[in-house]
Structure 1
Amino acid sequence: MIQLKNLTLRRGLKELFSNVNLTIHPGWRVGVVGSNGTGKSSLFGLMLKQLHQEQGDCDYPRGWTVAHVAQETPALTSSALEYTLDGDRELRELEAALRQAEDAHDGTKIGHLHGELARIDAYSAPARAAKLLAGLGFSEEKQARPVSSFSGGWRMRLNLAQALMCRSDLLLLDEPTNHLDLEAVLWLEQWLAAYPGTLLLISHDREFLDAVVSHIAEVARGSITLYTGGYTDFETQRAEQLAQQQVAFDKQQATIAHLENFIRRFKAKASKAKQAQSRVKALEKLERVAAAHADSPFNFTFDSPTHSPNPLLVTERASAGYGDTAILSHLNLNIQAGARIGLLGPNGAGKSTLIKLLAGEHAPLSGTLTPARDLRIGYFAQHQLETLRADESPIWHVQRLSPTVREQELRDFLGGFDFRGDAALAPVGPMSGGEKSRLALALIVWQKPNLLLLDEPTNHLDLDMRAALTLAMQDYNGAVIVVSHDRSLLSSTTDQYWLVEHGSVSPFDGDLDDYRRYRLTQQQDSVTDRAAASDMPEVDRKTQKRQEAESRQRKSAQKKPLLSRLGKLEQELDRLHAEKAILDALIADESMYGADKRNELAAAIKRQGELATRLEQVEEDWLAVQSDIEAIDAAD
């Protein structure tokens, strides 16, 4: 087991925690959470013997093998596959010893080493390494490429693969999802859920934590507190503690009132059952978020845009890519005011390319992109952090946008992003990635955009800031298009998804649970296809493809009248909801209860009852049609 006894740790003059006592049993999967700068990564440094405690003890079994993700990747000429195999240190040591024994013609030692290699299942190691790399997004071609040919983000994936390849007793992972796309995150969840050792995981991704960990260790207020369960369980317990503090409780109630108002607005507009169910689940989680983060240092909102043209952006037969290479083609997109769109798709499919096209960073290679006259875009991407002036302060960056605004007003605004006092005047250069991301988001919020384009906005943000960003986006009146591996943010701030794959962009009918199933099915089909392809004659493959195409056409023909019916029902639902909202407001008006309004009130109440009955019937019809469509999709 891991034991911290009366542990005190400092970094420079700052005491991170003191007199900490903590026990972690073998096989536990512990999520380590807390605001940036509280000492989470320093705790890992202590366990790796890179740091030393001020007092107390940090103990775990002497014979344990500890794996962690290296922060640097040497520019090696060896392949990605060989680099991953290097993570199994015992394998490499046995291979080196075998080469020496063979050079010395030591038959006894050669036999012994072959036995040891069999014991650790060394002969399947290349296949296991290839499977790891495939799960993290490396194609067969990429697995053969030299390490030196990969960019920084891909090198971090290689380091993660190397750590997973190690047959460890203790695995330390510090923000492993930061450089992954959603597909790789889903794969890593499954891998970690089956990991037999003890896991310590630093993460700001609540959905990832919920799927993987059995305990939460909160690093806060100079201490480490252990909670049983996933992150949602931690939020519930933390909320109960905060509710006992009056100041935190008052702030919590204000946040919950905001959420209830949002729920009312959302229910009035919801017309798709799957999306409605997904959204309600997300909002249920947000109530816990609001409570658990009631003492958050972040408090900001997006002001309503000055103009809301409709549509905001239109593309016609557009293609997007780099140089002469088109990654996306035949884009006929119409971005409506108030749209809330999440982009889904594997890494490299073109999600960021699409965002850059819409942001105006790249002109279309062909076709047209037509922005509205009063379009104002708020665009966030990680590479934009490099445009911040390293020698200037947060307040300077905002003043540059609005030179006539009083300094106190700028300070109040930046305070909502936790740039308070001297922090608002400090140079940007020495800031952490999380602080720079907060500043970049603050600059976007200040400009009151009517279209938000966000490409992985939560990288480097801690859980408090993610919760604040989620709530601010919930209340935002403009349009949103977001790419994120943070499923909590996606499900809580978007109500439709676009699938980016195979060079095109198309609506995805379903929620994130459906997308997860879709991807798992694709992976299984891919494995089956590869296994069958070598044995299947060419004529059989052609027959199979023709049959699959015929099946798709048959299903499309069967669904066509149902989809038409579904559209008409949705239009009627929108009309009925709008009429009922007007009647509800009329009946709630005190002036309607005078003697001269008696007949009008009676008619309104009668019509209200008729609308409720009709709404119930139309919703039942909608669900029946939706079930018929799903039955067609599920049919072989």
Structure 2
Amino acid sequence: MISINNLSFLIGSRALYDEADWHIKPGDRVGLIGANGTGKSTLLKIIVGEYAPSSGNISMAKDLRIGYLNQDLLSYDSHLPILAVAMEAFDRQNKLHDEIEELLKVIETDYSEDVLNKLAQKQEEFDALDGYNIEYRANEILAGLGFSTEDQKRPLNTFSGGWRMRVMLAKILLQDPDILLLDEPTNHMDLPSIKWLETYLAGFEGAIVIVSHDRYFLDKIINKTVESRKGKLTSYAGNYSFYLEEKELRAEIQRGEFKNQQAKIKQEERLIERFKAKASKAKMAQSRMKALDRMERVDDVDDDNPTVNFAFKFSKPSGRHVVRLENVSKSYPNIEILKNAEAVIEKGDKIALIGANGKGKSTLLRIIAGTEKFEGTCEIGHNVTTTFFAQHQLESLHLDNAILEELQAFAPKHTDTELRGILGCFLFTGDDVFKKIKVLSGGEKSRVALAKSLTTDSNFLILDEPTNHLDIQSVNILIQALQQYEGTFISVSHDRYFLDHVANKIWFIEEDKIKEYPGTYAEFEEWDAKRVKPVPKAIPVKPEEKKPAVKEPASPSTQQQLKKLNDKLKRTEDEIAVFEQNVKACEAELAKEEVFSNQHKLDETNKKYLAEKALLDAAQNTWEELAAEIMELEG
């Protein structure tokens, strides 16, 4: 489908890619991952031809239809209603529709056979292209992405950037491309829309390449992971969770190879040092020196997972009740957010505030922070000191300051060593701390603003979308920081992995009230799936839509076949468990010094490891084939 060979791309003297290779096949569903600045978005632009590679080539079929969603589409502007903008995807159908309308006008005065034949041909082609249903399809996708029927009549230029991006996504999905290239598609999306997109992409028949920092989203969609790192593209045959396990496995093997090679190098160096001064052995020593110089060195494993190793201190703890909301009401023209709502935040609460966009999450945070007018009472508790983090605070960073200067001015009580330690945890190491704020990317500015928020002497944090613009590595750092934070916080985020690892209570706004679930996000999801919910707004239904056929029970022969396949699947699962244990045992052996320091033992153990790994791979392939057969029979 798309073949990338020996790709190099230079920015100045820096090689963003250095002879990288990647082949995208039909049906691939790939997560393109890597730290910010490793060239993921650049690679997508190279694929679609916006950037030219410095060397190497990209080949693809001439008629390949590519749907490309990127953040640059935010600048697209139109006075047309968003339904009309989304329907721009149907270029040929729209043209035919206009031609049919013209011919219908002509036929009012001209009944000639030529005009009737043209009209019949146009209508036949329009029908073949499903032209009579294009408005329904556009309506359906926009509804899934969170747009009400009334919203779809509003002009595009009346919506904020995040909502415009959803319209662009709808337009791309309606084009029915062979491959989707999606650069951070869940940015600015609420949880219901993310879940809808997951369901839609699960049924998409073409290939998909996704750049995303949402681990749960990637795990739901992808079947391959490609890591962009150090100018290369490394493939892993599984979703993001599989990638983490497989990368650690490869790292363990690499560590063993590195230790073994280092031991061999030291041994050779001792021999050379011992014999180079002896005339009878000098030739042998020279030969060994040359062999050592030619040896292809194994790199040690880099630590890609920095840990937060500083304590967040505040001079005084808060009282038991941090915030008390009573009879709180808030509304905008035509929208009621809260009506006589009540809630309490207690010391030690780690609250995730979730829900669809437009339900009032950010408004509620501003009410708690004291920056939004409302009716009712918001009482801040004894000794409560607050810090409010929101995306607009990125604009308050002093652009001419260096990163370290920005924190020094904000947190003068901290020493430079403490501040550099904090910045190190947020991936600003060495001379990075002297970079000017004005040269930083959006993600880097977010990290600086978050570091500032966490250096305050505050025992209560209010965080509005703190994970926006952060890569997976940075999200992990923020999770560690909040897990160590001993104060209280409330956070709005659409990143489910983040929510699941930091929150001990869930808040959601429903029927104009603040409702609470006392547990983790995963527990809330399970509870929410079972409860009877208020009736949502009606979603457009296709006129005269036929009811799905009732699924007939499987025939006895099919049931027997299913039983055999399930039995075989169970036996394969048992085999996989055994092979996995054997592989782990081999890995443990490879890491032992007595093995990697002995060439004979190392060769034997490595041979055994490769054999067990091959058996495991074969068993896993068998399991996948059996599972596919079972799913097909079950319908």
Q: Normalising to structure 1: TM-score of the pair?
A: 0.71
Aligned 8 A contact 1:318 1:330 in 2: yes
Mapped pair 1:385 → 2:394: yes
Which of 298, 308, 312 aligns to 2:322? It is: 312
- Cα RMSD (Å): 3.1
Q: Please state if 1:459 is matched with 2:461.
A: no
Structure 1 residue 391, shift from structure 2 partner: 2.3
SS in 2 for 1:140: coil
Q: Which amino acid aligns with 1:16?
A: L
1:6-85 equivalences under 5 Å are 6-69=6-69, 71-72=72-73, 73-85=75-87
User: Relative to structure 2, which stretch is displaced further, 71-80 or 90-99?
Assistant: 90-99
Report which of the two structures shows the higher radius of gyration computed on alpha carbons.
2
Q: 1:512: how far off? A: 4.0
1:7/1:57 contact within 8 Å kept: yes
Inter-partner Cα distance in structure 2 for 1:420 and 1:527: 50
Matched, 1:86 2:63: no
Which of 224, 228, 243 is matched with 1:234 structurally?
243
Task: Answer yes or no: is 1:152 the counterpart of 2:161.
Answer: yes
CA deviation map 1:353-399 (0-9, x unaligned): 11111122224x22221212321223221122111122222222212
Structure 2: how far apart are the matches of 1:490 and 1:3?
Answer: 38
Distance in 1 (alpha carbons) for counterparts of 2:6 and 2:83: 43
Structure 1 residue aligned with 2:551 = none
Contact 2:308 2:480 in 1 (8 A): no
Tell me which of 128, 131, 154 is aligned to 2:140.
Answer: 131
CA distance in 2: counterparts of 1:345 and 1:33, whole angstroms: 27
Output aligned runs, 1:248-263, within 5 Å.
none
Q: Judging changes above 3 Å, is the alpha-carbon distance between structure 1 residues 353 and 529 closer, same or farther for their aligned structure 2 residues?
A: closer
Determine the C-alpha separation between the residues in 1 that align with 2:532 and 2:83.
Answer: 24
Cα distance in 2 for residues equivalent to 1:414 and 1:391: 18
Tell me what 1:415 maps to.
Answer: 424
Report if the CA contact (8 A) 2:354-2:494 is conserved. Answer: no
How many angstroms apart in 2 are the aligned matches of 1:214 and 1:482?
Answer: 31
Q: Which secondary structure state, in structure 2, belongs to the residue aligned with residue 86 of structure 1?
A: helix
Query: 1:313-368: per-residue Cα shift (whole Å, max 9, x none)?
Result: 112222345699752122322211111211122211111111111122224x2222
Equivalent-residue separation in structure 1 for 2:370 and 2:254 (angstroms): 48
Kindly state the Cα deviation for residue 518 of structure 1 after the two structures are TM-superposed. Answer: 4.3
Could you tell me which residue of structure 1 aligns to residue 266 of structure 2? none
- 1:490 corresponds, among 488, 499, 502, to 499
Matched-pair contact (CA < 8 Å) for 1:350–1:503: no
Give a deviation string over 1:236-264, Cα, whole Å, max 9, x none.
Answer: 111222335669x9xxxxxxxxxxxxxxx
The reply on whether 1:342 has 2:344 as its aligned counterpart is no
CA distance in 1, matches of 2:80, 2:330: 34
- Give yes or no for contact 1:315–1:369 (8 Å, CA) kept in 2: yes
Q: One-letter code of the match for 1:184?
A: S
From the superposition, tell whether residues 122 and 526 of structure 1 become closer, same or farther in structure 2 (CA, over 3 Å): farther
1:369 has 2:369 as partner: no
* SS, match of residue 362 in structure 1: coil
The 1-side partners of 2:43 and 2:530 are apart by 35
Quick one: which of 350, 355, 367 aligns to 1:357?
367
Aligned to 2:222: 213
Aligned to 1:194: 203
1:439 aligns with 2:448: yes
Tell me, yes or no, if the aligned pair for 2:65 and 2:177 is still in contact at 8 Å. Answer: yes
1:243 alignment partner, SS class: helix
- Which residue does the alignment assign to 2:485? 476
Q: CA deviation at 1:102?
A: 6.4
Gaps of 5+ in 1: 250-291, 535-636
Q: CA deviation at 1:517?
A: 8.0
Q: Give the direction of change, closer, same or farther, for the CA distance of 1:507–1:50 in structure 2 (3 Å limit).
A: same
Change in Cα spacing, 1:158 to 1:57, as seen in structure 2 (3 Å) is same
The whole-number CA distance in structure 2 between the counterparts of 1:146 and 1:379 is: 33
Residue number in structure 1 paired with 2:124: 115
Task: Name the residue aligned to 1:303.
Answer: 312
Query: Which segment is superposed worse, 112-121 or 24-33?
Result: 112-121
**Residues in 2 aligned to 1:82 and 1:500: alpha-carbon distance in whole angstroms:** 32
Q: Percent identity?
A: 33
Q: Whole-Å Cα distance in 2 between the matches of residues 190 and 236 of structure 1?
A: 26
Structure 1 letter corresponding to 2:17: F
Q: Secondary structure at the match of 1:23?
A: strand
Is it true that 1:177 corresponds to 2:186 in the alignment? yes
Say if 1:341 and 1:480, in contact at 8 Å, map to a contact too: yes
1:560 is matched with none
Which residue of 503, 520, 523 corresponds with 2:512? 503
Q: 1:235 and 1:100 mapped to 2: Cα distance?
A: 59
Q: CA deviation at 1:446?
A: 0.7
Residue 319 to residue 524, structure 1, CA distance change in 2 (3 Å): closer
8 Å CA contact 1:298–1:465 kept in 2: the answer is no
Q: Go from structure 1 to structure 2 and tell me whether the alpha carbon gap of 1:3 and 1:102 turns closer, same or farther (over 3 Å shift).
A: farther
Partner Cα separation in structure 1 for residue 254 and residue 166 of structure 2: 43
Q: Take 2:303 and 2:502, find their aligned partners in 1: how far apart are those partners?
A: 20
Q: Does 1:327 align with 2:348?
A: no
1:190/1:522 Cα in 2 relative to 1: closer, same or farther (>3 Å)?
farther
- The answer to which of 337-346 and 199-208 deviates more is 337-346
User: Cα distance 1:530–1:41, how it changes in 2: closer, same or farther (>3 A)?
Assistant: closer
Matches of 1:165 and 1:13 in 2, distance apart? 41
**CA 1:56–1:163 in 2, change beyond 3 Å: closer, same or farther?**
same
Deviations 1:287-327 (A, max 9, x none): xxxxx994235645551433222111112222345699752
Task: Return closer, same or farther for 1:528/1:435 CA change in 2, 3 Å cut-off.
Answer: closer
Q: How many residues align?
A: 490
Contact 1:293–1:464 at 8 Å: present in 2 too?
Answer: no
For residues 533 and 247 of structure 2, the distance between their equivalents in structure 1, rounded to whole angstroms, comes to 38
Q: Per-residue CA shift, 1:520-578, capped at 9, x if unaligned?
A: 9889965889879x9xxxxxxxxxxxxxxxxxxxxxxxxxxxxxxxxxxxxxxxxxxxx
Report the Cα distance in structure 1 between the residues aligned to 2:518 and 2:322, rounded to whole angstroms.
23
- Greater shift in the superposed pair: 483-492 or 495-504: 495-504
| One-letter amino acid of the structure 2 residue matched with residue 39 of structure 1 | G
Worse overlay, 488-497 or 386-395: 386-395
The Cα of 1:135 is off from its aligned counterpart by: 1.1
Query: In structure 2, what is the Cα distance between the partners aligned to 1:323 and 1:134?
Result: 22
Tell me how far apart the structure 2 counterparts of residues 323 and 7 of structure 1 sit (CA, whole Å): 54
Inter-CA distance 16–516: structure 2 relative to 1 (3 Å threshold): farther
Single out whichever of 133-142 and 518-527 deviates more from structure 2.
Answer: 518-527
Inter-CA distance 527–199: structure 2 relative to 1 (3 Å threshold): same
* Cα deviation code 1:556-609 (max 9, x no counterpart): xxxxxxxxxxxxxxxxxxxxxxxxxxxxxxxxxxxxxxxxxxxxxxxxxxxxxx
Deviation, 1:147, is: 0.9
Compared with structure 1, are the counterparts of its residues 193 and 468 closer, same or farther at alpha carbon in structure 2 (3 Å cutoff)? same
Q: Secondary structure at the match of 2:400?
A: coil
- Structure 2 gap segments, 5+ residues each: 107-113, 259-300, 545-635
Q: Which amino acid aligns with 1:349?
A: K
